[in-house]
Amino acid sequence: MHDTDRTFGLARREFLKKAGLVGAVGGTVLAGQAMAMPAASVEAARVEKPVVKAAAAPADVSRLPRVRQTLVKPPFLPDHEQVATTGPKTVEVTMTIEEKKIEIDDNGTKLWAFTYEGTVPGPMIVCHEGDYVELTLRNPETNMLAHNIDFHASTGALGGGALTEVNPGEQVVLRWKATKAGVFVYHCAPGDVMIPYHVVQGMNGAVMVLPRDGLRDANGNPYRYDRAYYIGEQDFYVPRNADGEYKDYESAADNMADTLEVMRKLTPTHVVFNGGQGALTGDNALKAEVGEKVLFIHAQANRDTRPHLIGGHGDLVWEAGSFNDRPATDLETWFIRGGSAGAMAYEFRQPGIYAYVNHNLIEAVMLGATAHIVVDGEWDDDLMMQVAKPGPVTS
Ligand SMILES: [Cu+2]
């Protein structure tokens, strides 16, 4: 039996009413019905709360050292060791959910975003294989909706989604063990159409679980990076008015029905890095030096993408994200499956401005999925030189 009020949240009932999406079937309010979603798929999208029997926690978890990780805004990663210098620990993090209006392109298009910690994507959490992550998830009273979190890096209970649903004014604490090394997506998943809706309103992020002895290259030798950047790619579906202009809404509830209609067509209006067009270009460009090895973590919670570094390569690519797999080498373009994160490492060999793009170039140039990396250092004529400047064609 569905615990409707708990699962969908009283706040959400009000939200759906305001969004004009209330359809009463047997007293149950589901957005799907109003959107002509087949009843069977609504049922399939709904998730029963699993029966979770209380089990004794492993006795030694409480004795593990506890380390508080201060989360930082993307594209940066929190302070971390690449090689663990201690045994397993409990990594404590806190994330506060914020429903907020953000600007997503150069024309000032606005979107009501659902965020972890106020950013799209949410902050990166870093730990080592064998560590425990203990998250306090807070949903302030100022929010309208129930939210939760599904960690693809975790095991059980819908990635924690079934144990973390919090209504406005509530908080919850979840602990999970990092048993798989790699980079992984996390996202909100509060049931039925709210799952894709929250994800495409920006409510997703990534976790990096490093092997305790750090990364290894394709030959199995230790690999250390000098910098790491975290790129969260986001597809947005912004409704337009009759004149074709993007609509701006008073509240997060007002835009839901229109947005679901755009989502249904599977054609995003924006594909951006780190929450908006230009978030990682110009003054916000990433920085590196010639000779530095840079790790790029690329997450896409909803849709396939194909990163490419223009003028460089993927020296080492953990395309599917698992650090226990041998990385591919020297790739021109790599593939990140929607619902996953991948990692690429590159040692910059030439100075200049590099573009890091989704190499669907329509999405890169026209929809926003471009980042810049400004690299300082000495130019290497052996690798490239302009032998003759542009001039008149000679016979
Ligand atoms: Cu949410």
- What confidence score (pLDDT) does residue 47 get? 54
Residues in the chain: 395
What mean pLDDT comes out for the span 227-234? 98
58 inside domain: no
Predicted confidence (pLDDT) per residue in 96-117, tens digit: 999 999 999 999 999 999 999 9
Residues 6 or more apart whose CB falls under 8 angstroms from that of 180 comprise: 129, 153, 209, 322, 324
Same domain (yes/no): 260, 200: no
Q: Supply 139's token pair.
A: 């949903």
Among 272, 265, 299, residue whose Cα is nearest residue 364: 272
Considering the domain boundaries, does residue 247 fall inside one? yes
Q: Tell me the torsion sign for CA atoms 59, 60, 63, 66.
A: negative
- In the reported structure, the alpha carbon of residue 382 is separated from the centroid of ligand 1 by a whole-number distance in angstroms of 51
Residues of the chain by 3-state class (helix, strand, coil), percent to 5: 15, 35, 50
- Which one of 210, 240, 268 terminates a domain? 210
Residue 253: what pLDDT? Answer: 83
Is 216 contained in some domain?
Answer: no
CATH number (domain holding residue 131): 2.60.40.420
In a domain, 381, yes or no: no
pTM above 0.85, yes or no: yes
Q: How far is the CA of 28 from the centre of ligand 1 (A)?
A: 20
What pLDDT, on a 0 to 100 scale, did the predictor assign at position 34? 34
Task: Judge whether 391 lies within some domain.
Answer: no
CA of 392 to the centre of ligand 1 (A): 59
Do 20 and 69 have their domain in common? no
Residues of the chain with pLDDT > 90, as a percent, come to 83
State whether 97 and 163 are in the same domain: yes
Whether residues 97 and 149 fall in one domain: yes
Cβ distance 371 to 353 under 8 Å? no
- Cα of 228 vs centre of ligand 1, distance in Å, is 27
- What range defines the domain where residue 101 resides? 64-210
Does 185 share its domain with 132?
A: yes
Question: Do 39 and 97 sit in the same domain of this protein?
Answer: no
d(CA 146, ligand 1 centre) in Å: 6
The verdict on residue 283 lying in a domain is yes
Q: What total of structural domains would you count in the chain? A: 3
Q: Is 258 left (phi over 0), alpha (psi -120 to 50) or beta?
A: alpha
Contact 208, 183 (CB under 8 A): yes
Q: Which of 108, 119, 154 is nearest to 133 (CA)?
A: 154
Q: Is residue 235 domain-shared with residue 354, that is, in the same domain?
A: yes
List active site positions: 147, 150, 152, 187-188, 198, 203, 308, 332-333, 359
pLDDT digits (tens, 9 = 90+) for 21-64: 654 333 333 333 333 333 344 444 455 555 666 665 665 898 99
